[in-house]
Amino acid sequence: MAGVALPKPGSLLIPDWQQSAEGKEYLNSILRKKKRKHFGLLERPVLPPQLPADIANYKIVVCGKGGVGKTSLIAKLAGLEVPNAHHETTGIQTTCVHWPACPRGSERPVIFRLQFWDCGETALRKFDHILPACKEKGDAVLFVFSFTDRSSFEDVPALISRTLGDDEDLARVVIGTKLDQYMHTDVTEQDLRVFQRTWHLPVMRVRSVNGPRLCDGRSLDGRAGLADAAPVLNGLVELLWHRDQVAPWTLFSEVNWPGGGSTAPRLSPRLPHCAPATLRLYTGPHWEDIAWATITGHVEASPIRTGRGQQPLYSDRSLCIMTKTAI
Ligand SMILES: Nc1nc2c(ncn2[C@@H]2O[C@H](COP(=O)(O)OP(=O)(O)OP(=O)(O)O)[C@@H](O)[C@H]2O)c(=O)[nH]1
Ligand SMILES: [Mg+2]
């Protein structure tokens, strides 16, 4: 299980940005009448024109022993009602969570669109096709254990080996649930320190319990729920951002482009033999994916495809061309 260089919390994304005046405006896009808004697969938050944002999509697989609290964790992050009783998740259940955050040095916040794939253990055991389907184009796997069930914690290394091969490049994150059940805790902080020293994996802790309700006594208070979920969501998106934006890229070449502008220059760099690859260019605070291409030593990266419509995209800087072998 390879260890990855982890970002220091707050080193890539502005900590507590959601509590700033600007951050609160972006948070409003995922709230409606004080409740959390829920988005279907094809929906996204609607932002007024004065609040520009990029959208970054990630697929996150959630696995762990039956009853540890996978479904409850996702419900808590999505602002849904956390189930009081255990109902086994049969098959795969997907849930979309949107979370705005702001990279350091950037004027443009990012809406992280996290698509969680919750797979029950029985289904995984019963049907061989479920795990590959979950991992396909996945970005991270959350390995969930419960603080009240020591065997679920001790099984985490084996669970990781069962789920991912050494060559699979999804981020690995360990999450301990039921932190509120401290009277019944079976896993100590010392256990977690030893685990982290041994495996070099990020470990998060959660308590997936319903927060306060609105005056109607029924609906969950969306803003209070967001405050509860913020530490986990911020930790998760910073890891994903690091993995996506910083870690795997190697500098291939740099192009001097003094004028900048809204149309990109023609680039036809010679690439090393690493086909297929993604080209990526650095334009100040952002990385832009500019092309997917099957490369046989040569790639045309023009016209450059970006996710930002017609706006001028590039500042007066040189372009760094980064390559990444496709996963
Ligand atoms: N107090 C407390 N209870 C929790 C927490 N997380 C989960 N639970 C409870 O644990 C039980 C099982 O939670 P689920 O989320 O259904 O577990 P699961 O991992 O999805 O289970 P499977 O779908 O069978 O794999 C439920 O009764 C939850 O209410 C937590 O953080 N604190
Ligand atoms: Mg479940």
The confidence score (pLDDT) of residue 285 equals: 46
> What Å distances lie between residue 82 and 9, 70, 87, 231, 325, CA to CA?
27, 11, 11, 18, 40
Amino acid of residue 189: E
Ligand 1 shell residues, CB under 6 Å: 64, 66-72, 82-86, 88-89, 120-121, 177-178, 180-181, 206-209
Q: Which domains does the chain have, with CATH numbers?
A: 17-245 (3.40.50.300), 251-326 (no CATH)
Distance 71 CA to ligand 1 centre (A): 7
Place of tokens 């260089």: 5
The confidence score (pLDDT) of residue 60 equals: 96
Distance 123 CA to ligand 2 centre (A): 11
Nearest atom (ligand 1) to Cα of 74: 15
Instruction: Determine the Cα–Cα distance for residues 139 and 132; give it in Å rounded to an integer.
Output: 13
Nearest atom (ligand 1) to Cα of 206: 31
The confidence score (pLDDT) of residue 17 equals: 94
Kind plus residue range of the DSSP H or E element containing 25: helix 21-27
Nearest atom (ligand 1) to Cα of 121: 25
Distance 192 CA to ligand 2 centre (A): 24
- What residues does 174 pair with on adjacent strands? 143, 203
The confidence score (pLDDT) of residue 74 equals: 97
The confidence score (pLDDT) of residue 246 equals: 59
User: SS3 for 286?
Assistant: coil
Nearest atom (ligand 1) to Cα of 64: 19
Nearest atom (ligand 1) to Cα of 208: 31
Count of beta carbons in the 10 Å neighbourhood of residue 259: 7
* Strands lying side by side in the sheet with 203-205: 92-101, 110-119, 54-63, 140-146, 171-177, 203-205
Distance 84 CA to ligand 2 centre (A): 12
- Of 174, 168, 188, the closest CA to residue 63 belongs to 174
What are the residues whose beta carbons fall under 8 Å from the beta carbon of 265, sequence distance 6 or more?
255, 257, 302
Distance 197 CA to ligand 2 centre (A): 30
Distance 228 CA to ligand 2 centre (A): 20
What are the residues whose beta carbons fall under 8 Å from the beta carbon of 208, sequence distance 6 or more?
69, 72, 73, 75, 76, 82, 177, 178
* pLDDT mean for each 10 residues of the chain (327 residues): 60 90 94 91 86 87 96 97 93 93 84 92 87 90 97 96 87 95 93 92 94 93 94 93 63 47 42 39 46 30 32 35 43
The residue to mutate among 72, 145, 181, 182, having the most atoms of ligand 1 within 8 angstroms of its beta carbon, is 72
The confidence score (pLDDT) of residue 256 equals: 47
- Three-state SS across 202-243? CEEECCCCCCCECCCCCCECHHHHHHHHHHHHHHHHHHHHHH
Residue 320 region by backbone torsions, left for phi larger than 0, else alpha for psi between -120 and 50, else beta: beta
The confidence score (pLDDT) of residue 245 equals: 65
DSSP 183: G
The residue whose CA is least distant from atom 11 of ligand 1 is: 86
The residue whose CA is least distant from atom 7 of ligand 1 is: 69
* Cα distance between the two ends of the chain: 17
